[in-house]
């Protein structure tokens, strides 16, 4: 912009801001720090901030801001050119397996669980899982508002070995890595990510879409999910607390992520990837992002003298969701069959029900943190429905989700009980796995 600028951030973000400024080519950026937090503080408390010190330097904050805008530039401030960051040597060792385990763990390359050491032989074997050249660039990944890293098929294979995957899992892992979705992001919220697998590859890899589909009961589900986390840590430089990761509590889903395999055979509706324009015999991974998964209970009306009304129950469960992240219904086939019998002969009809019946008042919407962070700015730009929603009277009833597209339904589970789960997740995009075979 060419205009003297002083970024002011709360001191909790000092490390991430200093490192990101350097990675963005401004290592001497004149950052000034305010006490943390700003959120929830009264005008009087913030007035105290203005008259107090920068907690990082102990110098008065406002005069420091003035200095950032007026102090003459140093030679370092004026520096131009380019720098190539190093990620270290191409190999580690030779050393014992135990010492290498410690090395990989202590240097942040793992998820803190033991890995398979990615030897040249193991990686070569992994590479037999794809026809793509090991040096082909797969894509770019960024774990937040950082400059993205790029990576090759070989890089993905190394991480797949570390995760304990088999060569036949590699095309799925490559498809996920090529999606642009990381599984750990710098947000202060404890975000989580999901991948849904459809197509014949589910059987070929012996993936679990039935009993315990979301649990630790299948090698492919576990290894593919774990590989995604290692890919994020090593190929996007993600998941470094205070540096590239700021989630205040973290999320237990981040270990192997929400890996879902649709039970296409038990579903009364077309598979998810067919909804997205793929053929049934294509192998596809669909990407999701969100916050949490909540286990549901058996449907309303399943007690004495009742008739199950799963759609009402799910709508109730959506009440705590933030509309920004949408809703993902993980529907057991028993529930899906019941809904189908009650007239929801397409997923679209069920989604339309949710869109119309999951509601909130305009006041509730505007008071939500995510609305303010991500949609108020769009409202100012005139983007609908947000522009309208920010003008409506407080008690106006509006949809919980701004568009039906923020709601998705996937059939999954082993039909042992008519129990479903709901996730505050939204669909992003679908990627061909076949392309990576």
Query: Rule CB under 8 A: which of 361-400 touch other proteins?
Result: 369, 372-378, 380-381
Q: Measured from the CB of residue 50, what is the shortest distance to other proteins in angstroms?
A: 4
222 binds other proteins (CB under 8 A): no
- Angle at Cα 353 formed by Cα 329 and Cα 339, nearest 5°? 60
**Which position among 20, 54, 64, 104 is part of the footprint of other proteins (CB under 8 A)?**
104
The backbone region for 382, taken as left when phi is positive above 0, alpha when psi lies in -120 to 50, beta otherwise, is: left
Instruction: Count residues binding other proteins (CB under 8 A).
Output: 102
By beta-carbon proximity to other proteins, the closer residue of 33 and 353 is 33
249 binds other proteins (CB under 8 A): no
135 binds other proteins (CB under 8 A): no
**Which position among 149, 310, 325, 427 is part of the footprint of other proteins (CB under 8 A)?**
149
DSSP classification of residue 309: B
**Residues of this chain, 65-84, that bind other proteins according to CB under 8 A:** 65-66, 69-73, 77-84
By beta-carbon proximity to other proteins, the closer residue of 53 and 301 is 53
Residue 199 Cα distances to 130, 141, 335, 349, angstroms: 18, 26, 22, 24
Q: Which residues, including other chains, have CB under 8 Å from residue 47's CB and lie 6 or more apart?
A: none
By beta-carbon proximity to other proteins, the closer residue of 234 and 430 is 234
Q: Which residues, including other chains, have CB under 8 Å from residue 267's CB and lie 6 or more apart?
A: 333, 336, 411
183 binds other proteins (CB under 8 A): no
By beta-carbon proximity to other proteins, the closer residue of 88 and 277 is 88
Is there a contact between 162 and 221 (Cβ–Cβ < 8 Å)?
no
241 binds other proteins (CB under 8 A): no
Q: Which residues, including other chains, have CB under 8 Å from residue 383's CB and lie 6 or more apart?
A: 375
**Residues of this chain, 158-177, that bind other proteins according to CB under 8 A:** 158-159, 162
303 binds other proteins (CB under 8 A): no
Q: Comparing C-alpha atoms, which of 326, 332, 371, 370 is closest to residue 351?
A: 326
215 binds other proteins (CB under 8 A): no
**Which position among 58, 120, 135, 395 is part of the footprint of other proteins (CB under 8 A)?**
120
**Which position among 20, 64, 111, 123 is part of the footprint of other proteins (CB under 8 A)?**
123
**Which position among 15, 28, 359, 388 is part of the footprint of other proteins (CB under 8 A)?**
28
Q: Comparing C-alpha atoms, which of 311, 320, 388 is closest to residue 355?
A: 311
Round to whole Å and give the CA distance between 163 and 150: 20
């Amino acid at each position: 912009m060419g205009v003297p600028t002083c970024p002011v951030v709360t001191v909790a973000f000092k490390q991430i801001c200093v490192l990101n400024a350097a990675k963005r080519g401004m290592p001497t950026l004149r950052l000034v720090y305010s006490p943390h937090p700003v959120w929830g503080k009264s005008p009087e408390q913030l007035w105290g901030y203005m008259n107090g010190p920068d907690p990082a330097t102990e110098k008065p904050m406002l005069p420091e801001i003035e200095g950032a805008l007026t102090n003459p530039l140093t030679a370092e401030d004026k520096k131009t050119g380019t720098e190539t960051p190093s990620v270290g040597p191409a190999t580690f060792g030779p050393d014992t397996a135990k010492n290498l385990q410690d090395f990989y763990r202590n240097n942040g390359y793992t998820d803190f669980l033991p890995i398979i050491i990615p030897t040249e032989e193991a990686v070569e074997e992994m590479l037999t899982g794809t026809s793509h050249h090991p040096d082909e660039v797969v894509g770019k990944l960024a774990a937040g508002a950082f400059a993205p890293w790029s990576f090759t098929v070989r890089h993905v294979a190394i991480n797949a070995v570390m995760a304990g995957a088999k060569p036949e899992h590699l095309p799925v892992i490559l498809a996920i890595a090529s999606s642009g979705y990381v599984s750990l992001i710098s947000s202060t919220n404890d975000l989580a990510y999901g991948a849904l697998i459809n197509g014949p590859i589910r059987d070929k890899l012996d993936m679990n879409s039935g009993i315990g589909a979301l649990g630790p009961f299948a090698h492919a589900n576990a290894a593919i999910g774990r590989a995604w986390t290692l890919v994020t840590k090593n190929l996007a430089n993600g998941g470094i607390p205070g540096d590239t990761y700021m989630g205040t509590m973290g999320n237990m889903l981040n270990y192997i992520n929400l890996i879902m395999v649709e039970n296409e055979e038990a579903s009364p509706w077309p598979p998810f990837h067919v909804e997205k324009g793929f053929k049934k015999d294509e192998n596809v991974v669909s990407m999701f992002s969100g916050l949490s998964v909540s286990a549901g209970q058996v449907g309303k009306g399943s007690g004495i003298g009742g008739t199950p009304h799963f759609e009402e129950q799910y709508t109730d469960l959506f009440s705590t969701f933030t509309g920004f992240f949408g809703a993902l219904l993980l529907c057991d086939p028993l529930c899906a069959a019941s809904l189908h019998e009650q007239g929801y002969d397409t997923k679209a009809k069920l989604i339309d029900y949710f869109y119309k019946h999951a509601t909130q008042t305009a006041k509730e919407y505007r008071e939500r943190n995510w609305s303010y962070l991500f949609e108020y700015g769009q409202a100012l730009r005139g983007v609908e429905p947000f522009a309208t929603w920010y003008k409506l009277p407080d008690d106006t009833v509006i949809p919980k989700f701004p568009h039906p597209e923020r709601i998705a339904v996937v059939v999954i589970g082993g039909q042992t009980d008519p129990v479903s789960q709901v996730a505050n997740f939204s669909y992003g995009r679908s990627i061909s796995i076949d392309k990576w075979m």
